[in-house]
Structure 1
Amino acid sequence: MSQHEIAVNVPQNLDPVYSNMIQIAYKDDEFTFVFLHQIPGVNQARAKAIVSITPQHAKNLLAVFSKTFADYESKYGKIEVPSGKTPSESVTTIRGYS
Structure 2
Amino acid sequence: MEDDTTPDNEQQQQINVELSDEVAEGIYSNLAMIAHSNSEFVVDFIRLMPGIPKAKVKARIIMTPDHAKRLLLALKDNIEKYEKAFGKIEGGSDAPRFPLNFGGTLGEA
Shorter chain as denominator, the TM-score bin is: 0.7 to 0.9
Shift in Å at residue 12 of structure 1? 3.5
Query: 52, 67, 72: which is aligned to 1:62?
Result: 72
Shift in Å at residue 5 of structure 1? 4.0
The total of aligned residue pairs comes to 88
Give unmatched runs, 5+ long, in structure 1.
Answer: 93-98
> Structure 2 CA distance, aligned partners of 1:53 and 1:5?
22
Q: 1:72 to 1:13 in 2, by over 3 A?
A: closer
> Structure 2 CA distance, aligned partners of 1:18 and 1:29?
28
Does 2:31 match 1:21? Answer: yes
Q: Secondary structure at the match of 1:25?
A: strand
**2:30 maps to amino acid:** N
Does 2:49 match 1:39? Answer: yes
Shift in Å at residue 75 of structure 1? 0.2
Query: 51, 73, 92: which is aligned to 2:83?
Result: 73
- Per mean C-alpha deviation after superposition, the further-off stretch among 10-19 and 54-63 is 10-19
Question: Identity percentage over the alignment?
Answer: 33
Query: 82, 90, 94: which is aligned to 1:86?
Result: 94
CA RMSD of aligned residues (A): 2.4
Number of the residue aligned with 2:20: 11
**Deviations 1:25-49, CA, capped at 9 Å, x for gaps:** 1000000000111101211111100
When normalised by structure 1's length, the TM-score is 0.77
- Per mean C-alpha deviation after superposition, the further-off stretch among 8-17 and 28-37 is 8-17
Q: 1:30 to 1:77 in 2, by over 3 A?
A: same
When normalised by structure 2's length, the TM-score is 0.70
Which has more strand, going by share of residues?
A: 1
